[in-house]
Structure 1
Amino acid sequence: MKTLAVSTRTICGIEELPQHGEAGVTHVLSILDPGHPELSAFGAYGEHRRTTLHFHDIIDPLPGQIMPAPEHVDAILRFGAEIDAEAEAGASGHLLVHCHMGVSRSTAAMLTLMALGDAEAGEAELFERLRQIRPRAWPNSVMVAMADERLGRNGRLVDELRRHYALQITAAPHIAGWMRELRRGREVEMGLSA
């Protein structure tokens, strides 16, 4: 079994970044809204490698907003491949992936990286690992669909995403209303139909 060359995985939102400054983070994937100012929290981090992507957390086109696109998922996959290429034998890195809230874009990106790093893992196992890292995960469905295609998962990641949404709605029913307010009702319906 191949796994991404990190021993610790963290998902968080911007407000949580300061509490990870002394956690030995070696790799950071930042996903920010376009035009968001540079983050000062990383000044307190030790030496680390950081990649930043800029797009909005939407699943349908909206005026003035940038949808997640294949090139963003490709950049996430390159980031994962670079982590493995840089790793020394026995290295124990700490990967931190964040977006604004640590709920959607970052969880979709971490799922993508875990699926890349462990091609033998089943989809249910990958989502279980994701929930262990970030219990409130609600991965962006557009990003997951693109990752599914890029990784040759033949729709299995998307199928498991439906079950994941159903679990999240059952565990925290208020999330359905919140997602609908955020124009993510299509994802809620995915969960309700699972």
Structure 2
Amino acid sequence: MQSLSMSTLTICGISELSEQRERAVTHVLSILDPGHPDPEAFGAYDPHRRTVLRFHDIIAPVEGMILPQPEHVEAVLRFAEEMEAGRADRVEGHLLVHCHMGISRSTAAMLTLMARSSPDEVEDRLFERLVEIRPQAWPNSRMVAFADDLLSRDGRLVDALRRHYGRQMRRKPEFAQWMHELGRGREVEMAA
């Protein structure tokens, strides 16, 4: 299934960006920590359209950090609108979404983009497709909740996220420890 009017969808972390430069990336959504330098890898990419969002990968307030907000997810949806507006001038496209590790913010953003472009697709199938793109996907629950609301999914994306977390922990039990260490134990509890 072609989604987002793109023939290729990629999610990665900053350390993997240089591996993508030969893959004809046409659109990039960068989600970076505030204050993190712009990745140098993009200097070697062919011309592409890039949007940068800056907020931290947290799900509860932490002093001195920027919590994902509805306007960040709205910006992801505007990015999709801009991609669609430019669709007429290309035959194929390669969308690259990245964050620091390519696990949480970027997977939540890609899920949002897929849910927007496939409004009738069952939510569990969206998560299956997400794992096909990025097997270690652990989408930021706060971002997914905002996407659920903004896309009028009536809680179905959040419910599917709970099941996804459960599948991920069965597949790789160390996820539970990692998320607790990162202050994201609430997401582990969502899967229970």
Q: TM-score range by the shorter chain?
A: over 0.9
Distance in 1 (CA, whole Å) between partners of 2:131 and 2:164 is: 9
* Aligned-partner Cα distance in 1 for 2:71–2:58: 16
Are positions 1:7 and 2:1 aligned together? no
Tell me what 2:22 maps to: 22
Matched residue SS, 1:72: helix
CA distance in 1, matches of 2:21, 2:95: 12
Q: Give, as a single letter, the amino acid of the residue that structure 1 aligns with 2:27.
A: H
Q: 3-state SS of the aligned residue for 2:158? A: helix
Task: Read off the aligned partner of 1:176 and give its amino acid letter.
Answer: A
Q: How many residues align?
A: 192
Matched AA of 1:166: G
The residue number in structure 1 matching 2:94 is 94
Match of 2:162 in 1: 162
Aligned partner letter, 1:184: R
1:65 aligns with 65
What's the offset of the Cα at 1:92?
1.1
CA shift at 1:4, angstroms? 1.2
What amino acid sits opposite 1:189 in the alignment? E
In structure 2, what residue type is equivalent to 1:108?
A
**Secondary structure of the residue that 1:24 maps to in structure 2?**
coil
Matches within 5 A, 1:19-168: 19-88=19-88, 91-168=91-168
Whole-angstrom distance in 1 between the partners of 2:29 and 2:121: 22
Query: Over residues 91-144 of structure 1, what are the superposed CA-to-partner deviations in whole Å (9 max), with x where a residue is unaligned?
Result: 210000000000000000000000111111110110000000000000000000
Contact 1:59 1:67 in 2 (8 A): yes
Counterpart residue identity of residue 12, structure 1:
C
Distance 1:185 1:23, change over 3 A: same
> What is the CA deviation profile of residues 147-184 of structure 1, one whole-angstrom value per residue up to 9, with x for unaligned ones?
00000000000000000000000000011001000000
Q: CA separation in 1, counterparts of 2:3 and 2:105? A: 21
Aligned equivalents of 1:2, 1:176: Cα separation in 2: 33
Aligned-pair identity (%): 63
Query: How far apart, CA to CA, are the structure 1 residues paired with 2:90 and 2:46?
Result: 20
For the residues of structure 2 that align with 1:118 and 1:126, how far apart are their CA atoms?
Answer: 9
Q: In the alignment, is the contact (CA less than 8 A) between 1:5 and 1:93 conserved in 2? A: yes
- TM-score, normalization: structure 2? 0.97
